[in-house]
Structure 1
Amino acid sequence: MNNILKNTMTAAAIALSISAGASDIQIDYLGTNNTLVRVKGANRYLMLPVQESNEDAKVNVLVNGNIERSFAVRLAKTKVDYTVPFDLSPFDGKDVVLDIVSSQGRASVREAKQDACWSNFSLSDTIDCANKEKYRPLYHHTPEWGWMNDPNGMFYKDGVWHLCYQWNPYGSKWQNMTWGSSTSTDLIHWEHHPAAIIPNGLGMVFSGSSAIDRSGSAGFGKDAVVAMYTSAGVSQMQSLAVSHDNGLTYDIYPANPVITMETEARDPNMFWDNDKKQWILVLAHALEHEMLFFTSPDMKQWTLRGSFGKGLGAQGGVWECPDLFRLKVDGTDKEKWMLICNINPGGPFGGSAVQYFTGDFDGNTFKADTDKNGNVATKWLDYGKDNYALVSWSDVPDGRRVAIGWMSNWQYAAEVPTMQFRSANTLPREIRLFEGLDGETYASCGVAQEMLGLRGKTFTEAKRLSVSGKKKSFALPESNSGACEITLDMNKGKSSKILLTLSNKEGECVSMWYDTAANTFSVDRRKSGITDFSQDFASVTTAPVLDTESTLSLRVFVDTSSIEVFGNGGRFAITNLVFPKSPYTTLTVSSEGGKGNISNLKVYSLNLK
């Protein structure tokens, strides 16, 4: 017997056909780390069993022997944490084969056969998206399942807010970057849609932007929605996609990529310059700590015009997710340009954060404002740990600039205590510019006016309180997992600190205080609940209170796993995740160093229907 025939017979002898509990699924084990899953029938989804502690397996989806799609998934070996759907509808009527290569070694065929995944594949016509997570937010946007990070491709059209986002459809860890898709008419209630843009031969789909081409300058038709994103394979390139159904589906531009560079650059943000009748693009030159500016007549042919940032602002980590726009300065006849530059790591309290610059932009060059000493100051849009990749919607009417961020931090985003999904977005914020008492221009980041639609009945109210070292307590709503909005005004009086504490029956608490001497506001989550999943989570974050008036107005939004604080209409913001073992049910107020005053205290239950 020759060796070729002998080897063939040996392979045939160890091939296994394993029942997966469904007659239309056949599983053939081929060797140490290669398995075929054959799928027949008319069901919509193949449910993939996931175990998060495993390493990724690579899956090539074969139809008629051709690779139609590739992705990575952490297939279960010893237990199933959850299942995720693979959509079979694009291959309707065809036999589909998943060619799976796993990274974990196996000692024997017997061991491989016993892996938990093989007996837990299943077919379904529906996806069970019922919330199984204690910490899923009640009024923040989240994906139905899977991992989410940066918001992408955001635009407003015909009364609808369109939000895409970095998404892994095949698990709750970072991988398989895809543009997920949601829409809303009120920024509160979100409708989920199928993926807008999926990975292809140029790589995964990283962050980018979308804009409405009012004149049809790109040749895709008048009012087409055009997206530009980073194709991330071996290298990073910029690609186009076009939508003719208001962003629900996108067609990939066949001549991609439209921008290539020798160095790492990503997260394109483009907009129409009506003054010069051209498109402008801001691109993050990530490792060079600068932003690049391009112009184009048609979104396809781009010319590099200038750069900004080297040696300025916070220079740690990488620069990512830019945004550039012009706003009026409140109370003046001035206009300023604002450049948002997300940075990771290097935030004021570690990890990722949002810095910004104000200044002038001539279509080619951005020149940042300087302080009285001639220096470009480092300014932060949020002083919490958990607001990153913040960018704004394009084409919002009335000159409004509405933005949203990813509510997490790269230090621990993959370790937070959820599993069905990971990460939410911040509340939408409206960005405005104002002049500080030092004459410099600053950005405010207040909650968007649409969030007034959340307010339900007043649960607790106190018109005026004198606060001292003796604590006064108020009940918080226990319904809706403690979700509520708290508003109040603080007057420092003779106090050195005015303190607010949210606490639960387990003794977990979030402490907040206005340091009237330092003119700062702080949030302490070190005893907030579960914090031990990361050494970087327990923290105190502090924001400067730029106003020196004696009264500080606060809006505090509490959800199942987050607290967002907005001071004086957003002149400072602090966004922090929290994971209490039970909802916070008590608000306690007190002061140090003398008496202070609290007025107009209201606790609102929220209308979540």
Structure 2
Amino acid sequence: MVKPKQEAQQNDNVTKPPVQANSYYNELYRPQFHYSPEANWMNDPNGMVFHKGEYHLFYQYHPYDAKWGPMHWGHAVSKDLVHWEHRPVAFTPDHNGDIFSGSIVVDHNNTSGFGKDALVALYTQNKDGHQVQSLAYSTDDGNTWTKYEGNPIMKDFPDPDWRDPKVFWHEETKSWIMPLAAKDKVMLYTSPNLKDWSFASEYKPQNASGATLLECPELFPLPVDGEKDKQKWVLTTSLGDGAIAGGSGMEYYVGTFDGKTFTPDKPEAEWIDYGADFYAGVTWENAPNNDQYRTMIAWMSNWKYANDTPTSAWRSAMTVPRKLELKTSQNGEVKLVQSPIQELETLRGKEKSYPSQVIKPNTNFLANAKGDTVELVADFKVDEMTTSKAFGFRVRKGDDQATSIGYNNEKKTIYLDRSFSGESYFNDQFAKVHEAPLEPVDGHVKMRILVDRSSVELFGNDGQVSITDQIFPKGSSDGIELFSSDGDVTLESLHVYPLNRIWGNSLFHSNLSGWEALNGRWADTISGTQGSDTVDSFKLADSRGKDFTYETDVKIGNQGAGGLVFRSDKTAKNAYVATIDQPGQMVKLWKKVDGEASILATYPAKIDPETTNHLKVTTEGKEIKVHFNDQLAIRTKDNSLSSGYFGLNVWNGTSTFQNVNTYPKK
């Protein structure tokens, strides 16, 4: 009989009370104030709309893996653009294909016939490289969606890469406008009703070539310098490759739009962000202040390495929401400026302020400052007295790593250097310096820096330029340094704020505690704790039992099996496992002894994907019973293991467990 060593020292019929340790959103590299999915893969933001006091964020989502795969639309909502509430997956693939990027509008005038103020989603569907545009609508504020029976509404695609509709209402022409990316150009369509679309014009950027892939275009008006009678139009596009920092990135054009044709003021594009991790950014439709500024959020990653970043259970995050405005620059050109939304300031902890002083080389008055979620707001005076060649900060600093954010006074550039930021093995182009041109304004260089556990966002001179980069340092690397190289610089002011996390407690319900994943990808979600792997993976609690009832509500994803582990040792090399096996369409009881698995009994059962089933195990001595949806499925005897730890198991897929509870045998 195989028994863990400490079995005789514990009362196996008394479960331990749950411990309220909050591991939710607390993994290594997990962003604390940026939006990231609870589990699995995320990329482009989609369908961003403000409706009845809530900001909706949809996004490209693969619910069964932490790498890109068949695209769904994930969903979250917020009242302040800071704190987010996760919602169930909104759109799943159908016979027309996977659900690619798109947008949502509020149909205030019921032009579509779906109802006044209905939410109408327009999105690309991809099936074997064939891309069409489809439509869905919601009459209950985005809680549920009905796919239009006439889908696809646009199917005569001119190019294999024909996607990402970002629709808006054009009041002057009383029509809907749809920009669509088409390989190396932006195509514009018009519609009176969101269903029937006519080609209007196309715009091909000067730098576009056959190798260019444009994605996620958006067209919107903004006042210049806050004056509404000086309105300009902004066209934003995302480049799949060839951006300023390498790989993917975003650019924009300022010009005019007459309801059919966009005409840029100049043919050259401007970069929205000079870092490597700002892509597919779009703005919220129907937002309260859209006539004054737009609020944009972007995918904080890069297609060069997005599938390979070293996060666990989830992959990718969004940038902080940013306020976009048009302002006249020092050289007279009208340019986008951006800044973190004001609501983020509610996350600030106790401020530490520093007065004006001269910063000399090899000194650091921030030696005692620490933080892995922090905001720095600095103003440097740069004039004829400045002898420093470069100055700035090093954040997430440890013994052998740091991320440098600085100003090169000789080149007149602001930069972010992640050459020694931490893990970079996953891509040989990751550990690089990214820089942007920046002239002092009235003899000053300002920096606003947002540091999270796996990212840095830098805004120079009140948002004239920005640089956004992911970083992957050790958890212990939390130092902050202020530096000046080869000379002096005057620091006019510095404000340092710790930033609070935005996430609450896990919604996984269990009377067991001390859960620890032995292998696989595990994360708590709104539906429960989710495990995913291609092989057998285990997660164990710190409670043990001998004779008991053990149960859960379990949902098997698109494939594989999941179930309850009991009488296990700490390695799960000796354990019983009762699983719901979707490919085999059975309930199965099996055991592992010294790592060798064998089946004890099976029971045929209809198991549909994404359906929640109830699984229950009861033990009394050698007897083991397994109930499936309240029906006795298996009753057998085995004396290999008499007691041990409780746990969960997934195999070759994704399973979600909720209400995992155990009760001692009475």
Normalising by structure 2, we get a TM-score of 0.69
- Contact kept, 8 Å, 1:468 with 1:594, in 2: the verdict is yes
Q: Could you tell me which residue of structure 1 aligns to residue 395 of structure 2? A: 502
Which one of 356, 381, 402 corresponds to residue 464 of structure 1? 356
Q: How many Å apart are 1:455 and its aligned residue? A: 1.0
Q: Is 2:324 the counterpart of 1:428?
A: no
Task: State the secondary structure of the residue aligned to 1:397.
Answer: coil
Instruction: Identify unmatched segments of 5+ residues in structure 2.
Output: 1-21, 503-666
Deviations 1:256-297 (A, max 9, x none): 1111214220000100011111100000012xx110010000
- Contact kept, 8 Å, 1:560 with 1:583, in 2: the verdict is no
Q: How many Å apart are 1:421 and its aligned residue? A: 0.3
Q: Could you tell me which residue of structure 2 aligns to residue 347 of structure 1? A: 243
Q: 1:281-360 counterparts in 2 under 5 A?
A: 281-286=178-183, 289-312=184-207, 317-330=212-225, 333-360=229-256
Which one of 479, 483, 487 corresponds to residue 377 of structure 2? 487
- Contact kept, 8 Å, 2:31 with 2:453, in 1: the verdict is yes
Which one of 157, 160, 164 corresponds to residue 54 of structure 2? 160
Q: Structure 1 CA distance, aligned partners of 2:115 and 2:319?
A: 34
Which one of 517, 521, 527 corresponds to residue 420 of structure 2? 527
Q: Is 2:132 the counterpart of 1:237?
A: yes
- Of stretches 349-358 and 486-495 in structure 1, the one that deviates more from structure 2 is 486-495
Q: Structure 1 CA distance, aligned partners of 2:64 and 2:329?
A: 47
Q: Is 2:259 the counterpart of 1:363?
A: yes
Q: Could you tell me which residue of structure 2 aligns to residue 96 of structure 1? A: none
- Contact kept, 8 Å, 1:457 with 1:606, in 2: the verdict is no
- Contact kept, 8 Å, 2:33 with 2:500, in 1: the verdict is no
Q: Could you tell me which residue of structure 1 aligns to residue 620 of structure 2? A: none
Q: Aligned AA for 2:142?
A: G
Q: Is 2:470 the counterpart of 1:577?
A: yes
Q: Is 2:287 the counterpart of 1:396?
A: yes
Q: Which has the higher contact order (CA 8 A, sep 6+)?
A: 2
Q: Could you tell me which residue of structure 2 aligns to residue 275 of structure 1? A: 172
Which one of 66, 70, 90 corresponds to residue 172 of structure 1? 66
Q: Structure 1 CA distance, aligned partners of 2:339 and 2:221?
A: 17
- Contact kept, 8 Å, 1:476 with 1:585, in 2: the verdict is no
Q: Could you tell me which residue of structure 2 aligns to residue 257 of structure 1? A: 152
Deviations 1:90-114 (A, max 9, x none): xxxxxxxxxxxxxxxxxxxxxxxxx
Structure-2 change in CA distance of 1:193 and 1:132 (3 Å): same
Q: Could you tell me which residue of structure 2 aligns to residue 448 of structure 1? A: 341
Q: Structure 1 CA distance, aligned partners of 2:81 and 2:35?
A: 9
- Contact kept, 8 Å, 1:207 with 1:230, in 2: the verdict is yes
Q: How many Å apart are 1:503 and its aligned residue? A: 4.6
Q: How many Å apart are 1:452 and its aligned residue? A: 1.3
Structure-2 change in CA distance of 1:134 and 1:503 (3 Å): closer
Structure-2 change in CA distance of 1:475 and 1:164 (3 Å): farther
Q: Structure 1 CA distance, aligned partners of 2:341 and 2:500?
A: 16
Q: How many Å apart are 1:186 and its aligned residue? A: 1.2
Q: How many Å apart are 1:554 and its aligned residue? A: 1.5
Q: Structure 1 CA distance, aligned partners of 2:375 and 2:476?
A: 14
Q: Structure 1 CA distance, aligned partners of 2:23 and 2:477?
A: 27
Q: Is 2:307 the counterpart of 1:414?
A: yes
Deviations 1:137-177 (A, max 9, x none): 01110111110000000001122110000000001010020
Q: Is 2:85 the counterpart of 1:188?
A: no
Task: State the secondary structure of the residue aligned to 1:257.
Answer: coil
Q: How many Å apart are 1:429 and its aligned residue? A: 0.4
- Contact kept, 8 Å, 2:370 with 2:479, in 1: the verdict is no
Structure-2 change in CA distance of 1:189 and 1:476 (3 Å): farther
Q: Aligned AA for 2:102?
A: G
Deviations 1:488-507 (A, max 9, x none): 10112323322322253332
Q: Could you tell me which residue of structure 1 aligns to residue 489 of structure 2? A: 596
Q: Aligned AA for 1:441?
A: V
Q: How many Å apart are 1:588 and its aligned residue? A: 2.0
Q: Could you tell me which residue of structure 1 aligns to residue 5 of structure 2? A: none
Q: Aligned AA for 1:389?
A: A
Task: State the secondary structure of the residue aligned to 1:453.
Answer: helix
Q: Could you tell me which residue of structure 1 aligns to residue 479 of structure 2? A: 586
Q: How many Å apart are 1:419 and its aligned residue? A: 2.5
Q: 1:97-116 counterparts in 2 under 5 A?
A: none
Q: Could you tell me which residue of structure 1 aligns to residue 433 of structure 2? A: 540
Task: State the secondary structure of the residue aligned to 1:566.
Answer: strand
- Contact kept, 8 Å, 1:506 with 1:581, in 2: the verdict is no
- Contact kept, 8 Å, 2:238 with 2:248, in 1: the verdict is yes
Structure-2 change in CA distance of 1:412 and 1:342 (3 Å): same
- Of stretches 267-276 and 513-522 in structure 1, the one that deviates more from structure 2 is 513-522
Q: How many Å apart are 1:362 and its aligned residue? A: 0.6
Q: Aligned AA for 1:181?
A: H
Q: How many Å apart are 1:334 and its aligned residue? A: 1.4
Q: How many Å apart are 1:583 and its aligned residue? A: 4.4
Q: How many Å apart are 1:593 and its aligned residue? A: 4.8
Q: Structure 1 CA distance, aligned partners of 2:368 and 2:271?
A: 31
- Contact kept, 8 Å, 1:129 with 1:144, in 2: the verdict is no
Which one of 141, 154, 162 corresponds to residue 246 of structure 1? 141
Q: How many Å apart are 1:599 and its aligned residue? A: 2.3
Q: Could you tell me which residue of structure 2 aligns to residue 206 of structure 1? A: 100
Structure-2 change in CA distance of 1:595 and 1:331 (3 Å): farther
Q: How many Å apart are 1:603 and its aligned residue? A: 1.1
Task: State the secondary structure of the residue aligned to 1:425.
Answer: coil
Instruction: Identify unmatched segments of 5+ residues in structure 1.
Output: 1-127, 371-375
Identity among equivalent pairs (%): 38
- Contact kept, 8 Å, 1:206 with 1:267, in 2: the verdict is yes
Q: Structure 2 CA distance, aligned partners of 1:336 and 1:167?
A: 34
Deviations 1:558-605 (A, max 9, x none): 111001111122111110000111244332223245321112211111
- Number of equivalenced pairs: 472
Structure-2 change in CA distance of 1:533 and 1:161 (3 Å): same
- Contact kept, 8 Å, 2:415 with 2:434, in 1: the verdict is yes
Q: Could you tell me which residue of structure 2 aligns to residue 16 of structure 1? A: none
Deviations 1:377-407 (A, max 9, x none): 2210001110100000001112231010000
Task: State the secondary structure of the residue aligned to 1:569.
Answer: coil
- Of stretches 146-155 and 312-321 in structure 1, the one that deviates more from structure 2 is 312-321
Q: 1:30-49 counterparts in 2 under 5 A?
A: none
Which is greater in Rg?
2
